[in-house]
Amino acid sequence: MAERPEEAPMTSPVISMTSSTSLIHHPYQPPAGFAAPQPAVHKASTVIFANTAAVRARNWKEKNGYTYGLHGTPTTFTLEQRIATLEGGSNTLLVPSGLAAITLVDMALLVSGDEVLIPDNAYGPGKELARNELARWGITHRFYDAMDPQSLLDAIGPATKLVWLEAAGSVTMEFPPLAALVQAARSRGITTALDNTWGAGIAFNAFDLMPASGSDPVGVAAAGVDICVQALTKYPSGGGDVLMGSVTTRDAALHQRLTGTHMRMGWGVGANDAEAVLRALPTLPLRYEAQDRAGRALAQWWAGRSEVSLVLHPAFTGSPGHEHWRAQCCAAAGLFSVVFDERYSAAQVDAFVDALKLFKIGYSWAGPVSLVVPYDLSLIRTRPAWRGTLVRFSLGLEEVADLIEDSRQALAFLG
C-alpha cells in the first residue's frame, strides 16, 4: 500500500476568537492521520481498560478519562466543551432534556427543609416539579416577582438555598433586571441558577452580566449567575428533532456537586443526538440572528393591529423590562407574544389560531417551522398582569412576508 502523504494536524487557532468562531474551531483532535474538522459519533456502553492498573488509575468522579459510556465519550465530551464555551462557563453536563437540566440542579443542591425561589413567570414544568416532587421530598418553594429585586429580597428566608432566574420570562416575555437579582441573591449568600434557553449564550453572557452598553449605572459589574441551564432542544439543536439539556458552571466545586448527582442519577445522552447538536452549533449565531430579525418584523406588524392590546417582545419599547433588555442584551430570540383585546373571547382567538396555515400549533421552538400556542394567562400566573387571551409566536425560518400574510388571512376568522 502506498504511503499516505503526511497530513497537517488539526490544532485550534491561537488567534483570539469571536464566540461564533469558537463554536467551530475548538480543540477537538481527530484520530491521527484523519484531519476532518467534524467530530465523530463515538458510541459505547463499555470502555475497555488496558489492564487492572488502568482501571485503578482512572478517577471516575472527575471524568478526567473515559470509564463508562454513560459517563462520557469523545462525542459528548466535545459537546460539553462547546456548550461551556458558548455560555462563557468552564464545565458543562449534558442531560436528556431541558427539563432534566432544571431537575438536576434542584436535586443536586436541595435537601429536605430547604426552600427554592422561582420567578412567577418561569418555565411552567419547572414550577410543576417544585409543586410535586420537591414538595413531596420536603423542599418548599416560593414564587417571586422577577421584575422587582425587592420582591426577591423579601422572599429570601433562612431556608432559602437556591434562586432560579429566567430571562426573558416564559410566555409573557418580561425581561428582568438580571444583574440586580443576582446581586440580591449573592448579598444573602444564595446560589443562583438561570434558565438561559431564550438567550442561548448569544443574547448576553450570563456569567458576566456587565451591561452590554459598557456603562454600569447600578454598580453591579461582574455580577454573574452561578449556574446556567439550557434546553439544547431549542436553539443549539435548531432542527426540532432533538431533546437535550445542559448545566454549565464556572465554579469547580459547584460543578463537582452537580457531577456527583448527574452520575448517580444515570442521566446520559445518546451519541447520535449529541452529534446532531454538534452539527448545528456552527450555524447557531446565524439562525439566532435570522429568527431575531423575523420575530421583530412580525411583532412590528402586530404592533400596528387594533385586534391586540399588547405586543410582548423585550426589544420593543413599552414591553415589560425593555430597558433591562436594552442594557443587557445584544440580540433577542425570535419569540414574542400578543395579548388580544378583551373584546375577543378565548374561542374567537382559538378560531384565529386554527385558521393559521404556515404557523403550526406546538410548544417547542427555535426549529425551522414557525409555531403558535394560545395561553390563558389566569392559568399560568399567580398574579396575571393583563386580561385577554395571549398567543405566543415563535419564528422558524420561513419568509417573514409569508408569515405576515398567514397572520393577516387568519385574522379574518377572529370574528
What does the binding site for ligand PLP look like in residue numbers (CB under 6 A)? 97-99, 123, 170, 195, 197, 231, 233-234, 243, 245, 364
* Nearest distance, CB of residue 243 and ligand PLP, angstroms: 5
Q: How far apart are CA 271 and CA 274, in angstroms?
A: 5
Comparison of 99 and 228: residue with beta carbon closer to ligand PLP: 99
Please give the C-alpha separations between residue 133 and each of 123, 149, 193, in angstroms, as whole numbers.
16, 27, 19
Q: How far is the CB of 200 from ligand PLP (least distance, A)?
A: 10
CA 296/CA 314 separation, integer angstroms: 10
Q: Smallest gap, in angstroms, from Cβ of residue 197 to ligand PLP?
A: 4
Q: In this chain, which residue has its C-beta nearest to ligand PLP?
A: 98
By C-beta, is 165 or 210 nearer to ligand PLP? Answer: 165
The rounded distance, in Å, linking the Cα atoms of 166 and 122 is 6
Minimum CB distance to ligand PLP, residue 24 (Å): 24
Q: What is the largest CA-CA distance in the chain?
A: 80
Least distance to ligand PLP from the beta carbon of 67, Å?
Answer: 27
> Rounded to an integer, what distance in angstroms lies between the CA atom of residue 167 and that of residue 314?
10
Smallest distance from the beta carbon of 333 to ligand PLP, in angstroms? 9
Q: Output the CA torsion sign for 35, 76, 252, 282.
A: positive
- C-alpha 330, offset from chain centre: 16
Toward ligand PLP, which CB reaches closer, 88 or 240? 240
Nearer to ligand PLP, 156 or 328 (CB): 328
Query: C-beta of 173: minimal distance to ligand PLP in Å?
Result: 11
Integer Cα distance of 167 and 146 in angstroms: 9
* Cα–Cα distance for residue pair 319/175, rounded to 1 Å: 9
Cα separation, 295 vs 289, in Å, equals 10
Shortest separation between residue 219's beta carbon and ligand PLP, angstroms: 29
Nearer to ligand PLP, 65 or 362 (CB): 362
Structural element, H or E, at residue 186: helix 178-187
Using the minimum distance from each CB to ligand PLP, give the nearer residue, 332 or 410.
Answer: 332
- C-beta of 372 vs 410, nearer to ligand PLP: 372
Q: Which is nearer to ligand PLP, 198 or 302 (CB)?
A: 198
The CA distance from 217 to 377, in Å, is 34
Strands laid side by side in the 371-375 sheet: 308-312, 335-340, 390-394, 371-375, 360-361
